[in-house]
Amino acid sequence: MELLKQRIIEEGVILSDQVLKLDGLLNHQVDPQLTMEMGREFAARFKESGITRVLTVESSGIAVAFATAYELGVPLVFARRKKTLLAEEDAYCERVPSFTKGIVTDIMLSRQYLKSEDRVLFIDDIIANGDAARGLIKIIERSGAELVGLGIVIEKCFQAGARTIREQGITLESLVKIESLTNGTITFGE
C-alpha cells in the first residue's frame, strides 16, 4: 500500500533501531479514511476464505479490525487484556509476555464470541516478536475454530514474529514491510 508507506514516512518517528513510534497513525490517532482503505485491502485479500469473524487484541488493532470486519460483513471480536488474576469460567485466557514492555499480560476472550464452527481472520496493527499473536492463536486453537490467516498492517521483518508464524504454515498478509530502522532511516521491504 503506497499510500500507507507515504503516511508512515510522514508520521513515523524513529525511536531506536528497533522501534518506530506511530501514534499519528495507529497508536493514538486514527485516520478513518486511511483505516477504511486498509480494511478494504484486507477484505480483498481474504474475501474468498469464508471468514465468519474478525479477531484482534485490544487496543491498537481495533480500528483496522473494525474496518476489515465491516467490509467482510462479519462481527469483530476483540480479546480483552485482563486486569484480574481470577480465572474466568466462560472465557479462554492466555498469558502473553511483552518483550518491549518487559511485562506479562493476560488476554481473555469469552467462549460466547468464538465458536468451533468459526472461520477466523486475525487482524493486528504491528507484528514484532509476535507474542500477542501467539497468545491469540492458542486461544483460537483451543476454541476449535479455524484460523484462516493473519492480516497485519506493519510487519517488522527484522524481528522474528511474522517469520515464526509463517513457518507454522499459517497465512500472514501484511500491508507494509519494514526491513530496518537503522541509521535513522525507514527501509521498506519488497
Binding residues for xanthine: 20, 27, 156
17 Cβ contact partners less than 8 Å away, ≥ 6 residues apart: 180, 181, 182
126 Cβ contact partners less than 8 Å away, ≥ 6 residues apart: 22, 26, 60, 152, 153, 154, 156
- Taking CB under 6 A as the binding criterion, the range among 17-25, 47-55, 68-76, 140-148 that sits at the site for ligand G4P is 17-25
C-alpha cell at 55: 479477531
151 binds Na ion (CB under 5 A): no
Helix (H) or strand (E) holding 119: strand 119-127
Residue number, 23 or 141, with CB nearest to Na ion: 23
98 binds ligand G4P (CB under 6 A): yes
Q: Site for Na ion (CB under 5 A): which residue of 25, 42, 53, 60?
A: 60
State the virtual CA torsion across 135, 62, 102, 142 in degrees, nearest 10: -10
Q: Site for ligand G4P (CB under 6 A): which residue of 6, 13, 27, 29?
A: 27
110 binds ligand G4P (CB under 6 A): no
Residue number, 64 or 114, with CB nearest to ligand G4P: 64
Cα–Cα dist 157/96, whole Å: 21
182 binds ligand G4P (CB under 6 A): no
Residues in binding site: 20, 27, 128-132, 156
The contact mask relative to Na ion for 123-142 (x = CB under 5 A, - = no) is -xx-----------------
**Residue entry with cell 468451533:** 116
